[in-house]
Amino acid sequence: MIEKLVDFALKNRFIVLATVLCLFVWGGISFHNLPIDAYPDVAGNYVNINTQWPGHSAEDVEKQITVPC
Using one digit for the tens of pLDDT, what is the confidence trace for 5-50?
A: 999 999 999 999 999 999 999 999 999 998 877 676 677 777 777 7
| Single pTM value for the model | 0.48
Which range marks the domain in which residue 2 is found?
A: 1-36
Does 26 reside within a domain? yes
Domain count along the chain: 1
pLDDT band at 69 (very low <50, low <70, confident <90, very high): low
Residue-wise burial string across 2-41, b where 16 or more C-beta atoms lie within 10 A, e elsewhere: eeeeeeeeeeeeeeeeeeeeeeeeeeeeeeeeeeeeeeee
Q: Is residue 16 part of a domain?
A: yes
- 20 within domain boundaries: yes
